[in-house]
Chain A
Amino acid sequence: MVTPSPLSSYQAMSSLLNLFGKTPLTRRRALWGLLLIAPNTIGLFLFFGWPILQSFRISFYEWNAFNTPRFVDIENFQRLYDDPMFRKALTNTLKLVGFVVPLEMGLSLSLALLLNQRLRGRILFRTIYFLPVVTSTVAASIVWTFVFQRRYGLMAAALEPFGYGDLNWLVDPDLVLFPIVVVTVWQRIGFDMVLFLAGLQNVPRVLHEAAMIDGANRWQRFRHVTLPMLSPTTFLILTLATISSFQIFDQVYIMTSRTIRGGVGGSARTLSLYLYESGFGQSSDYGYASAIAFILFMIILGITVLQLIAQRRWVYYETESG
């Protein structure tokens, strides 16, 4: 057995030290840097990084609040595959995404275009549209629950003249997703609008001027100048909107809490709500809930990657030639 000579261990030490810099000053700076980042980095690892890694592991275990974890391979995922409640939650979530994202983006882009004009009271309008963003989703959902109340709600009052005043929005399985879409869109428009406005301000004027000289009308300029120049913003918003729509929880939890949580027959249950119910409901099935979480994460990761790829193909950046 070879014992390291004092010299070689000194060399090892010094090459390790060299990693931190070649002079005492750079070494001291490196140490300071590490000290400064330590609290947040350690905290992030402990409370986010580690639980994330663990979550993937427990999705392969049978584990609830009462037994010890037991490795069951992909059994949780097989159960998910056969679980009609999970399928229902998945379809509901996809429906919500399908309704919310286009509505949210279309409306917020329209508002941003309107507000990007030379008009009076732009700041006031922007303030009003942004108000719902700062409201708590729980409080907003409570208000909208009353708006969608059968017969006595605002929606009923608005639809009464057309003979639809008696719709049971929050109970009827065919209708229940609609109020959830409305409250979600209402709450997000202002956020997207601010991002769109920032994007619109970055469209260089010279391009509009050039297009005008070429005789392009408003629509043509929107279609061929504004829209392409805005595409990085549009893609960012599309990604954010899709990802957060997959996580809808608060609205559903609150708006169906007066009747049956998750809606009659699970008609309003989302993936997040099902995850919550499986993990923290009566069964406390941590393994199963983690499997749902895993699926949710893979969906979100997939969207991110997909949109990154798509972005490379379609999005116009100013730095590109052309």
Chain B
Amino acid sequence: MSTVPGNELLTEVEVPSRAGARSGALGKALDTTIRSLVPVLLALVAGGLLLVILGHDPFAFYSSVWEHGAQGKAWQESAKRMAPLLLIAVGLIVAFRANIWNLGYNGQFLLSAAVISGLAPSLVNDLPLGLAFLIMFVVAGLVGAIWTIVPALLKAFYETNEIITTLMMSFIGVGLAQILIKGPFQDPSVNIAQTKVLELNKMLPHIPGTKVHIGVLVALAAAVVVYLVISRTAFGLKIDVLGANPRAARHVGIQVKQLVITSFFFSGALIGLAAAADILGVWGYIRANWNPAYGDTVIPFVFLARLNPLVVIPFIAFFAVLSTGGTLATQEVGLPTDFLLVLVALILLFMTVIEFLGRRRSLGQSYLPNGLRAALRLPGAKKREQEAAG
């Protein structure tokens, strides 16, 4: 049972509610919300202090971010930015819930993007536009999915650590994408390593009355579908069981190998869709040196949303505003755009701090899924468990 002698009694009674923890469903929801928002707010405050130190006015900066990211017609830019971010976030959620750490998102994304950029110019001319888009979304999904197969098989059959294999496949994927762009998909009419640019009227149609392409709707639909699959279906429950306790999954007869491969597949596929939405909706071509690394910035928000595909939507929206508005705002005041990454890093930092304090004071739910939380040993955790027992 437990490794700490003497806390046998603790399991006899309901786990006592500790000081600082609210009781009741409402209180718990409040706790969770607060806990999700506090790291973001603290990061904005700390970022503001940093701006003061650098000799800028933080209020002016943040209002400039808001102005360029959300006000007037600026929100449309942010909405477009949401499409790839949200699809990647949902793709990561599928894998993370199964306790599979698909960190190969950059390779999966860029490879899909390269393939789509290469195929699009001829496909949109040869086929009816709707069919061409459909085919390209399917192809993008497949490319992303196929790029997970090697880590998936290694994980399923040899229990190889997928963090390492997906990262390695990611580097290979990025390299391969560059080879494709410089080789077969190179636009012969220019001297830069890039694919042929899609004509403006051959890109994804806009939502009527806006300049937002329909890829955003695809992303929102994907989030809702994944949410329903996870909360309602047998497949979703199996993923959660696998994520929470892989040994239990084996014990109750879940086909763990199949499930690992399927989760990887869907994760990669969603990330591939992100590439299709971004290329067909926004860019229309790809350059060899282009790597937006969307996934890296998305990960903190996936955890802030506690791997919930619906809750992640507002977080992604926030980051989209910060990212589009922030790019202009930083240029305005003469800061490098990397300052936005500093803000993301600060969010991560404060998440870690709150996770640490949260364990001590039972502040709502952890950001981490159970499987990962058990694998991590926070400093002093054992001592606190003993205190909790005594």
Partners in one complex: no
Q: Which chain A residues have a beta carbon within 8 Å of chain B's beta carbons?
A: none
